[in-house]
């Protein structure tokens, strides 16, 4: 029951943060391109990479804290379903170029952010990046 509470509270925090970022992005950049969803997915990918690497390489993040942060907060924060809907909407509106841009930036941006998160955690933990250091 405690783990469900961790995920629930974390999910609420992540969902509120996603709403705030999306609202800010729409006000700052307009709504022609779904920048808010792109931002939360890239930031979430970075954070999940950093959190997993840190929790695997050190005792700084316990199993319960990792569950709260990754499944809860980041699970509520990132938005694959929104990404999917917005990309399909762009296609339905005839904006094939923007749909492909959104697809490319999201997939490549999230992969790159995840790798940067791993690297940042290793740098902070002073973990060697060579295969021998794994």
In DSSP notation, the chain reads -HHHHHHHHHHHHHHHHHHHHHHHHHHHH-SSS-HHHHHHHHHHHHHHHHHHHHHHH-SSS-HHHHHIIIIIIIHHH--HHHHHHHHHHHHHTT-HHHHHHHHHHHHHHHHHHHHHHHHHHHHHHT---SGGG-
Burial 9-26 (b: 16+ CB within 10 A, else e): ebbebbbebbeebbeebe
In contact, 101 and 43? CB cutoff 8 Å: no
pLDDT in tens, 28-48: 999 999 999 999 999 998 998
Banded pLDDT at 129 (limits 50, 70, 90): low
| Measured distance CA(53)–CA(114) in Å, rounded | 10
Mean pLDDT over 127-131 rounds to 66
* Of the listed ranges 90-94, 102-106, 117-121, 129-133, the one predicted with least confidence: 129-133
111 or 49, greater pLDDT: 111
pLDDT in tens, 63-98: 999 999 989 999 999 978 778 878 888 998 999 999
């Amino acid at each position: 029951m405690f783990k469900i509470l961790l995920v629930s509270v974390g999910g609420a925090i992540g969902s509120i943060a996603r709403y705030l970022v999306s609202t800010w992005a729409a006000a700052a950049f307009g709504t022609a391109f779904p920048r808010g969803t792109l931002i939360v997915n890239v930031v979430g990918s970075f954070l999940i990479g950093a959190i997993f690497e840190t929790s695997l390489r050190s005792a700084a993040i316990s199993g319960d804290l990792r569950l709260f942060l990754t499944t809860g907060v980041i699970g509520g924060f990132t938005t694959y379903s929104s990404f999917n809907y917005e990309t399909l909407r762009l296609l339905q509106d005839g904006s094939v170029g923007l749909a492909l841009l959104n697809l490319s930036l999201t997939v490549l941006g999230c992969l790159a952010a995840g790798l940067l998160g791993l690297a940042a955690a290793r740098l902070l933990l002073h973990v060697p990046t060579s295969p021998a250091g794994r």
